[in-house]
Amino acid sequence: MHVTVEKRSSAAAGVSQKRSSKYPFTVELPDSATVDDLKNAIYKQVKSLHPDRQRLTAGEKKSVLETGETLAKFDVSDGDTVYLKDLGPQIGWQTVFYIEYAGPIIIHYLIYNFSGLFYSQVVEHSEVQR
């Protein structure tokens, strides 16, 4: 099965953009290919687009191709065009968690131990605060 990959842009909405020389391109997949297979084939063509950065849509309704599903489920057949959107760099949930919770912990530590920098006087902590 040959699938054409075209970059989704606002050119379809009437805004003129300079077209990239990389797009559109065609990838060859087996008939029983999944969305993951297509994303990996795109990654082989364009190394800067890791599969986690890709959002693929197909058809007139622009339905999003969900990871793990077959292309046949979305009625993608030989010769069809799939539209690609670059989602940008993605970070994991653990990184977000650490950044979100490390900030308040560090700020509390700094204010407690270096109160003279923040209040222009040294604060004497009570027995409960120690």
d(CA 97, CA 3): 38
d(CA 34, CA 12): 27
Closest-CA residue to 73 (of 117, 98, 26, 38): 38
User: Cβ atoms within 10 A of the Cβ of 5, count?
Assistant: 22
Query: For 89-121, how does the pLDDT look when each residue is reduced to its tens digit (9 = 90+)?
Result: 888 889 999 999 999 999 999 988 888 888 888
> Considering the entire predicted model, what is its pTM?
0.66
Looking at residue 118, its pLDDT comes to: 83
The CA-atom distances, in angstroms, between 44 and each of 80, 107, 111 are 19, 44, 50
Residue 19 — very low, low, confident or very high, per pLDDT cuts 50/70/90? Answer: low
Closest-CA residue to 42 (of 58, 32, 29): 29
Query: For 21-64, how does the pLDDT look when each residue is reduced to its tens digit (9 = 90+)?
Result: 788 899 999 989 999 999 999 999 999 899 999 999 987 778 89
